[in-house]
Structure 1
């Protein structure tokens, strides 16, 4: 019997599906970077040249698309966190970690949102954020043990740096795109160890921090 073409149809369909997936991811990365995690999925599908149904076949939920779009960047961020944790100078580790985080925020509004929020319905993002918190604790703990960072600092204080940085970037990105760096430098100076005196206002509890991050992602 002659070749009916059925033998090549499946591989061709898989190649087409893979190309569509990559086009969707390229469009999503650009849209999320410009508009944040709430970017229109319909716009992303149009930009990718596919139907919205095709997008949903590849990524049934928005969080699925977010995870795929930010997977590479999250990996790079965690690698930077590991380098900061291993730095010979604990203060350099802490300051370089925060500069890397704030710099990645400045270049990508969607990643800015992603690291600043909690998505309680997604076990995968919860695990990722737990990894971030563990890295923060290790980096901050080394700096505190070395008496180069305030002993009353918490990871909640580091997370609020990202919230403040987000607003600074939003206000200045078009007129002074490096303004966030000055604010970060001022913040880091306030983080330096100068004795054991605690502030009058207590830090956020773990639950308060979690609830605040989850609230940011609420529709």
Structure 2
């Protein structure tokens, strides 16, 4: 049984997590633990005692947020209207990515939080496929679409967020609407099939968002 932390140690842990959330959201996860310590107003040694590596801190911080994305997919599947359920999930997930750069780094990369991200992807893939299939059965999504297409559109929107969000906040909503309309109303046959689900990890490994000065 894990021994509970002393009150002061637990308070420091919460300060570290809060500081990490703020720094990761603004700058992504490619920051030093020293930066987290400075933002938290704590000594570097205190941070390293609680979280020996950045990987430990990333997993502790984003575990809940990643599980939240899965819960949004479940809410979408439970919605009475298939199309509203699908778009609600996509919009919630994208809004979360727009507000939190660190979450984007975690969701689209295998560099950090590998174990938990892999588990979440395995849980999320059949749910996203079910969201699309449900819409196809209702006649509101093109028949040649696949769940993996939604995942890859998130990569595209994530790239837009990296380049445009600092200059034009919220612009992603315009292009997400165009993408969703193509999913619903597109009539031009898609020229190539969707990638195999098994290839998504390899695609994620190639995700290299640009890093701004001072991010690492």
Instruction: Report the TM-score when normalising by structure 2.
Output: 0.85
Residue aligning to 1:128: 120
Structure-1 separation of matches of 2:109 and 2:25: 15
Structure-2 separation of matches of 1:92 and 1:122: 31
SS in 2 for 1:21: helix
Determine if the alignment matches structure 1 residue 98 to structure 2 residue 104.
no
Number of aligned residue pairs: 208
- What does the per-residue CA deviation read over 1:35-83, in whole Å, with 9 as the maximum and x for residues that have no partner? 1121222101121222333223222332221122123333433322211
Larger Rg: 1
State whether residues 85 and 138 of structure 1, in contact with CA within 8 Å, keep that contact through their aligned partners in structure 2.
yes
Unaligned 5+ residue runs, structure 1? 1-9
Instruction: Report the TM-score when normalising by structure 1.
Output: 0.83
Residue aligning to 1:3: none
Structure-1 separation of matches of 2:64 and 2:200: 26
Unaligned 5+ residue runs, structure 2? 209-216
Structure-2 separation of matches of 1:21 and 1:44: 12
- What does the per-residue CA deviation read over 1:62-121, in whole Å, with 9 as the maximum and x for residues that have no partner? 222112212333343332221111111111111111111111111111112222223598
Structure-1 separation of matches of 2:50 and 2:130: 37
1:215 pairs with 198, 206, 215, which one?
A: 206
Structure-1 separation of matches of 2:45 and 2:191: 54
Structure-2 separation of matches of 1:210 and 1:155: 15
Q: 1:214 to 1:76 in 2, by over 3 A?
A: same
Residue aligning to 1:138: 130
SS in 2 for 1:37: coil
2:53 pairs with 56, 61, 69, which one?
A: 61
Point out 4+ residue stretches in structure 1 off by more than 6 angstroms. none
Determine if the alignment matches structure 1 residue 204 to structure 2 residue 185.
no
Determine if the alignment matches structure 1 residue 48 to structure 2 residue 48.
no
State whether residues 63 and 116 of structure 2, in contact with CA within 8 Å, keep that contact through their aligned partners in structure 1.
no
Determine if the alignment matches structure 1 residue 30 to structure 2 residue 22.
yes
